[in-house]
Structure 1
Amino acid sequence: MRRITLDDVASLAGVSPITVSRVLRKPATVSETLRLRVIEAVEKLGYVPNVAASRLASSRTHTIGVIVPTLYNVIFAEYLFALHEVLVAAGFQVVVVNSRYSEVEEENAIKALLGQRAEAIIIAGIHHTALSRQLLVQARLPVVQTFELSDDPIDLNIGMSQEDAGHIATRHLIDRGFRRIAFLTGNLDHRAQSRFDGYHNAMREVGLKSLEMIAHRPRHSSVALGSELFGEMDDRGDLPEAIFCTDDNLALGAMQECRKRRIRVPDDISIIGFHDLEFSACAAPSLSSIATRRYETGRLAAEKVLLALDAATKSGPEQIDMGFALVVRESTSSELVFANRTSNSSAGAIRPTNEGEQPDE
């Protein structure tokens, strides 16, 4: 069966192919009667425009490339939702590529997106191969690096200091009087490594040991992994006084394992997570965490890309610190406390996601 063409639609609607094209591309330029006649023919024939041909004719692809390290972890769900919400409404197609925490696969993803003539690229992370960075610089299109802060951004950088957040989480436990504080993580990617650096520096500042208090497994962070890592610590008779987990999934798993082993949280051990996922406020006990602005980061990245594409001239590199918030709940304290943090004094304070509260949509 042959493909339905623009000429077929024009013949059925009784208009010229140019008119059909005008209706599909700029419907406001034709009368309502003519527009409805063409649309009726399009729907009756099941016509699908030839996007490749349109791209060649207009030099625009209306495609935005997005690279994330995983589609497994829920922390990227709000981020991707915000990107789609803004960009799709503006008439762009969002192409999401999973780099699987590999800088080589990220490099291949960048090549593929540039080959498809993406008009902008948004990347979760700031660590790239030398070739990846060269390709992004030479492409001369809007590039947004997110989730972390870079000392040398390629173009626009929207993120937070992962190291400062790890430091604050650990200081919270230290300030509550704990000295044996463990660090739990799955894949030790760049962001997890930065959180560990914050943990290690906070411990070192007060003369506490940290290197022998690490529980690590090179797997996706999950509730099951948190349960497994905690169980192994307890089986060794190496139970700490408190634990900093690199995300809330690990923290929830550790708390569930505590319940199985009749270890009370926070009476016997305190636990803090990272990202302040929706379930953190609903857990029993409720989970202390570091709140990160994932939805807001995605939305701002999308809005900045649209502004850059509309701008007559390309501006220089820009950095936006989204900050983070320490949210103290029952797993480390009986009191609810919010402490907003940014990596520099010029950045505004953030409002953390509170109990039962959803991001502004």
Structure 2
Amino acid sequence: MKSDAKFTLADLAHLAGVSTSTASRALKNNPLIKQATREKVQTLAREHNYSVNAAASRLRTQKTNVIAVILNLIDDTEQSISDPFLLKIVAELNKALNAAGYELLLSNSFMASDDWANYFITSQRADGLIVVGQGKSNEKIDKAAAAGVPLVVWGEPTTPSIYPIIGGDNRKGGYLATMHLIDGGCKRIMFLGDPGHAEMTERHAGYEQALREHGLEPDPSLTLPIDITSQAAYDCINDTVRQNGLNFDGIVCISDMLALGALKALKERYVNIPADVSIVGYDDIALAELMHPSITTVRQDTQQAAQKMVSQLLKQFEGAPTRSETVDISLKIRRSTRAEN
């Protein structure tokens, strides 16, 4: 039998079949841990002469082995944590964090205090932050970074910052989506989504670049800034068609959720997709392939993104240099767009 000096919390967690943070909480009789798990961990601790005092020595290091993942939703939005793309990123982050020995604490910017340093780090809720989304303002992120909080952001990698930002090549994504529509014969292409976000600004820049390269001057009236929900896209397309008729033959959507809403509105008006209007989404959520017609979309490698975000966060724990990184994107061509001319 191991002595207290040799038998570690990691050994105890391994025997109990739980994570080290779960074992630590079980030793403290944390009610968030199932009673059966608490009893199992505490019984094993007694059998191996592992005292709560030994666990306390670990607490003095102020490590929780928990990472807070904050969904940085903007004000006045109907977008929620049930958004399929957000869930897709969170699922990949959970796998990457578990592989690194950490648990994920999911929160959002509305639930958490404005002072993320105190709310998550000083209170020992988490060791570091992964923020999903830059939003229109970096104020909360910058405040946490200035307080010395280890953090990584999913957003626009070219944005100057003092913390690492991981994201897709958004300008390339907007460019590829628009080029595909032009190659399919579209000439009046709508941009559906708010360019005020850092990521969307770059996608819009790619959209305009593709238009100009083909002698198509961007029409400001075809850039429609809306919330990132299918309902917002549905309402927007209905309003546009009522007011202006079908004055567009292609749509670049900044998310698949917008593409779903646009598709629904047009199909209800018996507009043929893609013969009359071609639609490209963004993110490649599962629903995009299941719709009729299936939606052409820009895919971001969320698995690669999660691994890079976790890697850059761990480097901060080790005091190693960090950097922003771009993840792979690709165009998934499906039936919502016309074949190239």
Q: TM-score range by the shorter chain?
A: 0.7 to 0.9
| Distance of aligned partners of 1:285 and 1:106 in 2 relative to their CA distance in 1, 3 Å threshold | farther
Aligned residue number for residue 96 of structure 1: 106
Q: 2:62 aligns with which of 51, 59, 62?
A: 59
Separation in 2, partners of 1:168, 1:51 = 57
Distance 1:65 1:242 in 2: 39
Are 1:175 and 2:183 counterparts? Answer: yes
Is structure 2 residue 199 aligned with structure 1 residue 191?
Answer: yes
Partner of 1:215: 224
The answer to whether residue 12 in structure 2 is matched with residue 27 in structure 1 is: yes
Structure 1 runs not aligned, ≥5 long: 1-14, 31-37, 336-361
Once residues 184 and 82 of structure 1 are traced to their aligned partners in structure 2, the CA distance between those partners, rounded to angstroms, is 27
CA RMSD of the aligned region, Å? 3.9
| Separation in 2, partners of 1:252, 1:29 | 45
Task: Give the gaps of 5 or more residues in structure 2.
Answer: 16-26, 28-34, 46-51, 74-80
Matched ranges for 1:122-137 at <5 A: 122-125=130-133, 129=138, 132-133=141-142, 135-136=144-145
Residue 236 of structure 2 corresponds to 229
TM-score (normalised: structure 1):
0.70
State the partner residue of 1:327. 332
Query: Over alpha carbons, which structure has the higher Rg?
Result: 1
Superposed, 1:139-154 pairs within 5 Å as 139=148, 142-154=150-162
Normalising by structure 2, what TM-score?
Answer: 0.74
Native 8 Å contact 1:67 1:109 kept in 2: no
Give the C-alpha shift of residue 26 in structure 1: 3.7
Q: CA deviation at 1:271?
A: 0.9
SS of the counterpart of 2:157?
coil
Tell me if the contact between 1:285 and 1:331 (Cα under 8 Å) persists in the aligned partners.
Answer: yes
1:153 to 1:176, Cα distance in 2 relative to 1, 3 A: same
Summarize the Cα distance change of 1:203–1:106 in structure 2 as closer, same or farther, 3 Å threshold. farther
Q: 1:1-361 to 2 correspondence within 5 Å?
A: 19=4, 22=7, 24=9, 26-27=11-12, 43=39, 56-70=59-73, 71-99=81-109, 108-117=115-124, 118-125=126-133, 129=138, 132-133=141-142, 135-136=144-145, 139=148, 142-185=150-193, 188-205=196-213, 206-217=215-226, 219-222=227-230, 224-239=231-246, 240-306=248-314, 309=317, 311=318, 314-334=319-339
Whether contact under 8 Å (1:67, 1:106) holds in the other structure is: no
Contact 1:203 1:210 (C-alpha < 8 Å) held by counterparts: no
Deviations 1:332-351 (A, max 9, x none): 1248xxxxxxxxxxxxxxxx
Aligned residues of 1:83 and 1:299 also touching (Cα < 8 A): yes
C-alpha distance in 2 between matches for 1:63 and 1:133: 21
User: Aligned residue for 1:358?
Assistant: none
Preserved CA contact (<8 Å) 2:232 2:258: yes
Change (3 A) 1:180 1:42: closer
Q: Structure 1 residues 95 and 187 mapped into 2: Cα distance closer, same or farther (>3 Å)?
A: farther
Change beyond 3 A, Cα 1:42–1:191: closer
Distance verdict in 2 for CA 1:109–1:215, change over 3 Å = same
Residue identity over aligned pairs, in percent, reads: 24
Which letter does structure 2 place at the counterpart of 1:75?
Answer: F
2:237 touches 2:265 (CA, 8 Å); kept in 1? yes
Sort the Cα spacing of 1:284 and 1:319 in 2 relative to 1 into closer, same or farther, 3 A: same
CA–CA distance in 1 between the matches of 2:4 and 2:290? 57
User: How many residues were matched structurally?
Assistant: 303
User: What's the secondary structure of 1:305's corresponding residue?
Assistant: helix
- Counterparts of 1:137 and 1:43, CA distance in 2: 42
Counterpart of 1:347? none
Q: Distance in 1 between matches of 2:40 and 2:14?
A: 23
C-alpha distance 54-187 of structure 1, shift in aligned 2 (>3 A): farther
2:278 maps to amino acid:
S
Whether contact under 8 Å (2:315, 2:322) holds in the other structure is no
Q: Alpha-carbon deviation of 1:270?
A: 0.9
Separation in 1 of the partners of 2:159 and 2:316? 21
* Deviation (angstroms), 1:243: 1.0
Cα 1:51–1:81, aligned 2, differ >3 Å: closer, same or farther?
farther
Report the alpha carbon displacement of residue 247 of structure 1 after superposing the two structures with TM: 0.9
Structure-2 change in CA distance of 1:187 and 1:54 (3 Å): farther
Secondary structure in structure 1 of the residue aligned to 2:115:
helix
Q: Is the 8 A contact 1:143 1:154 kept in 2?
A: no
Q: Aligned to 2:272, what secondary structure does the other structure show?
A: coil
